[in-house]
Amino acid sequence: MKTATGRQRPLDIAGAAATIVFMVRGAITLCWRGLLDLALPTVCAACGRRDERAGPLCPSCAAALLGQVDGRYCPRCGAGIGENLPVDEDGCFQCPTPVPRFQRVVRLTAYEPPLAEVIRGMKFRGVRHGCRWLGRLLADRVAATGELASVDAVQHVPLHWIRRLDRGFDQGRLLAAAIARRIGRPRLEALRRVRNTPPQVNLPRTRRLENVRGAFKPVGRDAEGLHVLLVDDVTTTGATADEATRALLAGGARRVSLAVVAKAEPPPRQT
């Protein structure tokens, strides 16, 4: 390859080799974790105990999680709301400013045990056999809130390819696939993550918005004119989902609603 001055640019052999090694490692990780899923399907994804019953969670953890699902929450931001506090379709006192671009939030429950352990297992330990089960639960939650009637298609919040290779799979895609099958809607690949953004743990919302700005680009026009159900595992401040929504709307989507497995508490506001 030549530079702007016409000189021959030396090949970045070290960089190319590092990329190949990284991709091979990702492929090996994907195969290894797939074999583990087949060999150890009876290990509870939350507590790690072995259990011979079908499903990703042992009876105790499954009962604890299902008991948390019916909590009251804001339909605009997903924050948990006490029984005596006001909330309506326009939001609650916890809604962030500016208001996110997605119109509605559907969630399973708060980001706390045992659900938090299942999600951490998916993100950091390659435990993916809970994705389909959680996706089906979330799909039932979507149907129960009335969003099903107007949803046209399902789209996940994609990982960057580097993170996907390192993890071995994209948990958002698995969740979205389970939801799409459950509700009988097509699953889109209308988003691409073009920046591998740094982790956002402990960042306030303003910093998160800056961190993910421009991280997603629309792919094609498959979302044009559609009400898209955007799927993610966890939302905290809504910054990532908001930026993904911006890209979907830029790609022609008519409306975007957000379905998340868990809502985490945002970090305290900095004074």
Each residue's pLDDT, cut to its tens digit, for the chain (271 residues) gives: 444 445 554 445 655 454 454 455 555 555 555 555 555 456 788 888 877 665 688 889 999 999 988 788 999 999 988 877 877 778 888 888 888 999 999 999 999 999 999 888 887 777 777 888 899 999 999 988 877 789 999 999 999 999 888 888 899 999 999 999 999 999 999 999 999 887 777 777 788 888 889 999 999 999 999 999 999 999 988 999 999 999 999 999 999 999 999 999 876 555 4
Residue ranges per structural domain of the chain: 1-39, 74-263
Residue 132: CB atoms within 10 A of its CB come to 17
Contacts of 17 (CB under 8 A, 6+ apart): none
The one-character DSSP state at 72 is -
Residue 142: CB atoms within 10 A of its CB come to 23
- Range 74-263: architecture per CATH: 3-Layer(aba) Sandwich (3.40)
| 98 within 8 A of 85, measured Cβ to Cβ | no
Q: Which amino acid is at 256?
A: V
In which residue are the tokens 């399973």 written? 108
Nearest to 204 by CA among 271, 260, 258, 262: 271
Question: Distance of alpha carbon 37 from its chain centroid, rounded?
Answer: 21
